[in-house]
Structure 1
Amino acid sequence: MSMFDTVLVANRGEIAVRIIRTLRTMGVRSVAVFSDADAGARHVREADTAVRIGPPAPAESYLSVDRLLEAAARTGAQAVHPGYGFLAENAAFARACADAGLVFIGPPAAAIALMGDKIRAKETVRAAGVPVVPGSSGSGLSDDQLAAAAREIGLPVLFKPSAGGGGKGMRLTRTESALLEEIAAARREARASFGDDTLLVERWIDRPRHIEIQVLADAHGQVVHLGERECSLQRRHQKIIEEAPSILLDERTRAAMGEAAVQAARSCGYVGAGTVEFIVPGRTPSADWFFMEMNTRLQVEHPVTELITGLDLVEWQLRVAAGERLPFAQEDIALTGHAVEARICAEDPARGFLPSGGTVLALREPRGEGVRTDSGLSEGSEVSSRYDPMLAKVIAHGPDRATALRRLRAALAETVTLGVPTNAGFLRRLLAHPDVVSGELDTGLVEREAESLIPDGPPAAVYAAAAAVRLAQLAPAPDPAGWTDPFSAPTGWRLGGTPAPLAFPLRIPGLDPVTATAPAGATVTEDTVAVTLDGITHTFHRAGSWLGCDGDSWHIQDHDPVAASLGGGARSGADTLAAPMPGTVTVVKAAVGDSVAAGQSLLVVEAMKMEHVISAPHAGTVTELDVVPGATVAMDQILAVVTPEKETGDV
C-alpha cells in the first residue's frame, strides 16, 4: 500500500493541530472537522480543508460516527486519524471506518475492544506472563458485588471504569461507609465519559509511581518499545507533568518492563503506536511493578518520547497504517537526553482548580532552544466548558534532567494566556518543588503539596499595575497644539496643597476588594505595564482587564462600593449557592421547601468532564432552586438559596 493522499483528522484542539503539522511535512492533504463551537478554531485554519460536522455538543459532532464518515467521503479521505479522546479508542468506530473503505490509523478494532475492556485486558496480559494489580475479576459486577470485592481486597481501593481511561470516573475510597456513594459517582462519570458504567475495583497502592512504556508495532510482526515515560505527577488521577526517561528505572528494570510491554502488545495482536501503563510501588527500582492498562492510541505525552528518540510518532502511525515495515529493531532504539512536558489546562488553581473558560485576549507561547509548544490556541479562541480543559502542552528537552526542568520552568514563565485562567503558574512552581527536582515522585505528591504551591493572594504589584493602567487611561489625548489642560490631567493636583495620588477601588472575582494607587515611574504600553515596588520592577502583560506574569493571570475589575452596598438585596451571600464554573447541571437532589443538613449534597455541576458537588452551606430550608437537570449555567450564576434554620423558625 502506498502512502495516503488525504487523511481526515477526527479530533480538535492541540492534537488536531499537531497531526496536521506532520501531515503537511509528509505532503499528505489534511481534512479537519469542526463543530459550530470550533468554526474559527486554529485546527480549522491550519488544515488544507475543513468540514462542519454539527452543533457544539460532542454527541452530535465529534462523537458522531455517521457525520465523521460522511465528511471523509465528501473530501475523498483514504484514512482517518482519531487523535486521542473522543472516538480514538472506540472499536465500533474503527470497524465502521473499515466497513466504509477507510484505513483507521490505529490498532485493529479487536485489539481496541480487548484492551478497552480493562477486565479482559488484565486477564489477557496475565496469561502472557505480565504481572497485574490485585483486584476484582469478572465483568458486570453490581454495586453490592463491587463493594464486597473492595472489602475482600482491603481498603483503600480504586474504582475504575472498565471502558475508559484518562482518570475519568476513577474514585479512590478509603472508608467502608463511602463505598456505595463512590461507586455511584464513578458510574455516573463513566457513563458520561464513555457511555458505559461498568466498573472494576483494584487495590490502591499508597505513594505509587506511574510508569508507562511506548510501544510501536507494524503489521508484519515487528514490535519494539521506545523506552518509558514517568507520569507520576498527577492531580485527581490526571497526568499534568510527564518526563522521559524516568529517573527511577535502572537499565535492568527498563529492559524488563519494556519486554513486558512488548508481550502485552503481542498478546492482543497490536498494530501501531500504543502505551502500556504500569504502577510501581516504592521509590527504588524493584521487581514489584504491575500492569494497569493499555492505551490503544497516541498518548498526550508522546512529545517527550519523540524528543529523546528523534522519532515522529504520528509519522510512524501513518507509515504503519499504510503497510510499511518498521526499519529498526529494538537494539537500534537509543534514548538521548531528557524531556519534560507540562499540560496547560483551562482551570483556576486559586479557585480549587475549577474549570475556566472565556475568550483568549492575548496569547504568547514559548519558543527557544530545546522548547516545543503543541497548542490549539490562537488569539480570539473561545474556550468552552463542553470539551476537555487541556489547551496546550509545553515541552522542554535538554542533555540532562536538570537542564530540561530549568528550560521548562523558564518556558512556563513566558507563557501568556490572558482571558482564560490556566494552571501554567502552578506548574512552574511545582517543577521547582524540592521533591520534583530531586526526582522523589509519587502519584500523590501534587495533592499533598498543592496548597503550598498556590499563593494566598495576588502580589501587591498586581494591584499596583492595575492602578497604573487605570491612571494611564485617564490621561488626556495629546493636543495637536502641544498644550494640555492641567485640570484634565490625572495628577491629583489640588489648590494650595500637596498632590493627592489617585486611588482606584479594584476587585478580583472571589477576593475582597482593595484600593490601590499607581507607583511613581510606572510604564504602560498597549500590551504591557511595568511597576517598581521596593526597588524591584515587575513587568506584566495586559489585555483588557487582564494582567499576566510568570504564567499566572488575574482578572482585575473596577469595584463600585456604592453599588455593592445597595445591591445586597434579601439574599445573604452565605445563603446562596452559585455555580463555581460554567457547565451543565447533571443532578438535582433537593426541591424548594426541603430541610437540609449542613454539607448535604444538593446539586452536581459538570464541566470539561469533571463533576463538582454543590452542598448546603449550613442547615436550613431550600427557599429557592433555579435549575433543573440538563440546564446550562454560567460561572457565579445563583443556583439555589438555603435559608438558615434560625430564620425559618426551625429548631
Structure 2
Amino acid sequence: MASIPFPESVAPVGEAVAPVRESVAPAAEPVGGFDTVLVANRGEIARRVIRTLRRLGIRSVAVYSDADADAPHVREADLAARIGPAAASRSYLDIDAVLAAARETGAQAIHPGYGFLSENAAFARACADAGIVFIGPGERALDVMADKIRAKAHVAAHDVPTVPGFSAKGMSDAEIAVAASEAGYPLLVKPSAGGGGKGMQIVRAPGELTEALATARRVAAAAFGDDTLLLERLIERPRHIEVQVLADTYGTVIHLGERECTLQRRHQKVVEEAPSSVVDAATRARIGAAACAAAASVDYRGAGTVEFLVAADRPDEFFFIEMNTRLQVEHPVTELVTGVDLVEQQLLVAAGERLALAQDGVRLVGHAIEARVYAESPERGFLPATGDVLEWRAASSQDGERPDVRTDAAVETGSVITADYDPMIAKVIAWGADRAEALTRLDEALAETVVLGVDTNIAFLRGLLAIPAVVAGDLDTGLIDRMPAFVGARPSEPALAAAASFVRNHRPAEMSGDARGLITGVVPQRGASELWATASGWRAGSHAVPVSQWFETADGEIASVASVPDLSSRSVGDGADDGATPDGAMVRASADGLLWVHADGATTTLRPLTRREAMDARLAARERESAATDPQLHAPMPGAVVAVHVSDGAAVRAGDRIVTIEAMKMEHPVVAPHDGIVTLDVAVGEQVRRDQALAHVVATPGDSEASERDAAETAGSTSGVDPVTTSSDHRS
C-alpha cells in the first residue's frame, strides 16, 4: 500500500448550532458502504478518525460534552451533537446519549476510538439492537478479553504462552497470602478488569501484600466497578512488546509487526516505537503467529493489539499479557512503517469487506518512534496540569509524501485544559530510515513543539530520549522509574533575553497600571510619568542603555539579565506581531502576569520582578531554608479525598501515607513530611481545592533534628510517591 500523509489538522467547518452542528457533507463518493459515521470520542483520536473519514468521503459526526463545546474535533467534523455535561459518566460514557446522537444525525456506524466505550460489550450490544454498526470486534471478543483472568486461561488453551499466576477471585486476604507464598515473590497485583496499568502494584515481600491488595481493589472498583484481582509472577527487567493484528469477518487474520512499548512510568506508556530493536525476523514470525492465534480464538474482527512481556535477557521468550480490543494510542508508529491506515481498515472490515492485504504483503520500512505529550509537571512528581493554551505550534513535516514528522494533537491555541479528562494533549511521531535517525528527528520535533500556558512533559521526554540506554535500545519497563527525580533546566540566556525584551518593549500606555505592573514588574506611583513606568533605559541625548530585569523562575530561584530595549518594535500585546523575537524565541503572558517563553527548544516560565521584589524573594528563600519543616500538608491539586490512612491524633513517621486524593483521574497519596502527631482537616468524600490544608503533622519534642533531616529528604515532593491512575478513559 502507498504511504499515507496525515496532516496535523484540517480547516474547521460549520457554525455552532446546539445541540447539533452541521456543515456541507464531503463531495467524494463514500468508501466501504457508510455515508455517515459518528466518532464516540474526543481529543486527538477523534480528530485523527475524522481525517480518515473525510479522505474517504464519509460524513463525520462528532459528539461533545459541555467542556468540549469549542474543542477542535467539534469544528472539524461535518456534524456535531451535544451529549451531556463535562463529567465523562454523563456524556462520553452515556450509551443512551451516544446512540441518540447517532440516530439524530443519521449515522450508520459508530467508531469508538480508544478509552471510554471502545471495549464495552454492553455498548456493542446496544449498537446492534439499534441497527447501528459498531466499528470494533464482536461481543465474544469483548467479553473474553475484557477479563484478564478469563483471557489468560482462554489463550493458554490455544497454545499462546502465558505468565504463571493465579486469580484471587473469591479468595480472602489470608488465602491470597498463602497462594502468593506458594507462587513466590516478587509478584504483580493487578485488577482483572481493565488495562493501562491502572491499579497495578508490585509486591516484593509478604509484608507489602496487605496494602497492595487494598490499593489495587480501591483503584479497580473506582475505575472498572470490579475489584477482582489477578496475581502473577513478576518478570524482572521485562520489555513490553505488542503486536498489531487485523482480521476480517471471513476468518483472515494477519499481523503488522510489533511495537516496543517498554518505556513506561508506573505502567503508563510514555514512548513507543516500531519495530522493536530486539525482535529478530524469526521471533517476529513466532510472536506474530501467537498474536494471530489469540485473535482467531475469539473470532476477532477489525484492528486489535495483543500484548506480551519479553524478558530483557531472553528476547526470544514471550508471555501473553492481555489483548486490547480496539485501536491503540501508539497505532501511528505502525502506520508509518507499514503505510497502512488502520482506521481505514477498521471501516472496511466493519462494512463487511475482505482484507485486501495478505501476510506476505506486509513490509516494515524504516523505524518510527512516538512520544506522548501530557499536560503535567514532571518537576512536581508528574502531577497533571490545567490551564489555557496561550500558544500551540506543532513541529512541521519535511516530506509531504511520507511524513518524517506527524503530530496528532487534541489542542490548539486557545484550548482550555481542564481536570475532566485524561491529560494527554498530543502525540509527536517521527519516522527515519533507521532507529538512530528516527530518534534524532523525534528530538528535533519535540524541540519545535510549542505549548505555552500549560506545563508539559516535553523537556522530560527530550531528556529521556538522550539517555545512553535509550539510545542503545537497552530498555526495560522499570527504566523510567529508576531515574532520579526530574529537575527542569535553568532558563537559558536566550530565554531570559526574550523575556526581558518582551517586558521592555511592551507598550505600557495600552495597559492599565495594574496590568502593566503584572507584566513589567513596575507599578507607577499616582501621578508618575509614563516614561518612568516604562523602565526603558532611555536617557536624554543618548542611546538606550542596558537595564537589569529580574525574574523568578519556576523553582523559586531569582535570575536577572541586562537588556537594551528595541523601542521601535511592538509586542504580542498590541497585535502587531506574533510574539516571536528576532532569534526565534516566543513569549506569551498569562492573565496572572507569568511569562511563558519558548527558546532553544525548551519552554520556561518567568515572573517579572522589581529590584525590591527580587531582594525580598531572596530573603524569603533564606528564611525558608533555615526554618523547620512545614507541619501543614496541602492538596497538590483540586480533587476528592478517597482515603484517610490514619486516625486523628495518631503518631506517624516521615513518609507515612496520611490521605489520598483523586484528581485528574489519578490517585495522589499525601505523606507525612516528618515524624509527629497528625491532626486531620478533611474526611473521605470531601472535595478539596489546590493547596488546601489536608492535615497537620506536629513534631513531638526532641524530634527537631529528625524533622530537619526528613525535610531535606522530602523537599520538593508533594506526595512522596507517584500517582496511581484510575481513569476509566485512560489510553494505553
Q: TM > 0.5 between the two?
A: yes
Match of residue 473, structure 1, among 506, 523, 530: 506
Q: Measure the CA separation in 2 of the matches of 1:551 and 1:85.
A: 32
Flag structure 1 segments of 5+ consecutive residues without an equivalent: 479-483, 532-536
Give the residue type in structure 1 aligned to 2:654: A
| Partner residue in 1 for 2:372 | 343
Q: Measure the CA separation in 1 of the matches of 2:472 and 2:235.
A: 22
Aligned 8 A contact 1:356 1:582 in 2? no
Give the residue type in structure 1 aligned to 2:634: A
| 1:616 corresponds to 2:669 | no
Q: Measure the CA separation in 2 of the matches of 1:80 and 1:119.
A: 29
Q: Measure the CA separation in 2 of the matches of 1:623 and 1:65.
A: 44
| 1:290 corresponds to 2:335 | no
| Partner residue in 1 for 2:466 | 432
Q: Measure the CA separation in 1 of the matches of 2:114 and 2:171.
A: 28
Give the residue type in structure 2 aligned to 1:415: T
Deviations 1:377-416 (A, max 9, x none): 0111111222111111011112221211111110000011
Give the residue type in structure 1 aligned to 2:561: T
Deviations 1:492-535 (A, max 9, x none): 5799xx999654553345x234152334578985354669xxxx
| Partner residue in 2 for 1:371 | 405
Give the residue type in structure 2 aligned to 1:639: L
Q: CA deviation at 1:138?
A: 6.4
Give the residue type in structure 2 aligned to 1:55: P
Q: Measure the CA separation in 2 of the matches of 1:520 and 1:385.
A: 41
Q: What secondary structure is seen at the aligned counterpart in 2 of 1:132?
A: coil
| 1:490 corresponds to 2:490 | no
- The 5 A counterparts of 1:115-126 are 115-126=145-156
Q: CA deviation at 1:152?
A: 2.1
| Partner residue in 2 for 1:10 | 40
- The 5 A counterparts of 1:46-57 are 46-57=76-87
| 1:333 corresponds to 2:367 | no
Match of residue 215, structure 1, among 229, 242, 245: 245
| Partner residue in 1 for 2:640 | 584
| Partner residue in 1 for 2:234 | 204
Inter-CA distance 196–563: structure 2 relative to 1 (3 Å threshold)? farther
| Partner residue in 1 for 2:552 | 507
Flag structure 2 segments of 5+ consecutive residues without an equivalent: 1-30, 399-403, 512-528, 573-577, 705-732
Inter-CA distance 419–145: structure 2 relative to 1 (3 Å threshold)? farther
Q: CA deviation at 1:194?
A: 1.7
Deviations 1:538-575 (A, max 9, x none): 83443432122455433323454799899999x98712
Q: CA deviation at 1:230?
A: 0.8
Q: CA deviation at 1:142?
A: 3.8
Q: Measure the CA separation in 2 of the matches of 1:499 and 1:309.
A: 59
Q: Measure the CA separation in 1 of the matches of 2:340 and 2:90.
A: 35
Inter-CA distance 326–141: structure 2 relative to 1 (3 Å threshold)? farther
| 1:602 corresponds to 2:649 | no
Q: Measure the CA separation in 1 of the matches of 2:510 and 2:143.
A: 67
Q: Measure the CA separation in 1 of the matches of 2:494 and 2:338.
A: 43
* 464-473 or 596-605, which deviates more: 464-473
Q: What secondary structure is seen at the aligned counterpart in 1 of 2:506?
A: helix
Q: Measure the CA separation in 1 of the matches of 2:534 and 2:160.
A: 76
Inter-CA distance 456–27: structure 2 relative to 1 (3 Å threshold)? closer
| Partner residue in 2 for 1:534 | none
Give the residue type in structure 2 aligned to 1:517: V
Q: What secondary structure is seen at the aligned counterpart in 1 of 2:141?
A: helix
Give the residue type in structure 1 aligned to 2:417: V
| Partner residue in 1 for 2:9 | none
| Partner residue in 1 for 2:440 | 406
Q: Measure the CA separation in 2 of the matches of 1:345 and 1:474.
A: 34
Q: Normalising by structure 1, what TM-score?
A: 0.90
Match of residue 384, structure 1, among 414, 418, 443: 418
- The 5 A counterparts of 1:151-162 are 151-162=181-192
Inter-CA distance 499–7: structure 2 relative to 1 (3 Å threshold)? closer
Q: What secondary structure is seen at the aligned counterpart in 1 of 2:165?
A: coil
Match of residue 518, structure 1, among 562, 565, 572: 562
Deviations 1:111-163 (A, max 9, x none): 11101111011111111011101111464444333333332222221111111
Q: CA deviation at 1:612?
A: 1.0
Deviations 1:24-82 (A, max 9, x none): 11111111111111111111111111111111111111111111111112111111111
Give the residue type in structure 1 aligned to 2:606: I
* Count, aligned residues: 635
- The 5 A counterparts of 1:76-95 are 76-95=106-125
Q: What percentage of aligned pairs have identical amino acids?
A: 54
Inter-CA distance 53–648: structure 2 relative to 1 (3 Å threshold)? farther
Q: CA deviation at 1:639?
A: 3.0
* 124-133 or 500-509, which deviates more: 500-509
Q: Normalising by structure 2, what TM-score?
A: 0.80
Q: Measure the CA separation in 2 of the matches of 1:572 and 1:449.
A: 29
Aligned 8 A contact 1:149 1:201 in 2? no
Q: What secondary structure is seen at the aligned counterpart in 2 of 1:407?
A: helix
Aligned 8 A contact 1:9 1:16 in 2? yes
| Partner residue in 1 for 2:205 | 175
Aligned 8 A contact 1:596 1:621 in 2? yes
Q: Measure the CA separation in 1 of the matches of 2:533 and 2:144.
A: 74
Give the residue type in structure 1 aligned to 2:663: A
Q: What secondary structure is seen at the aligned counterpart in 2 of 1:264?
A: helix
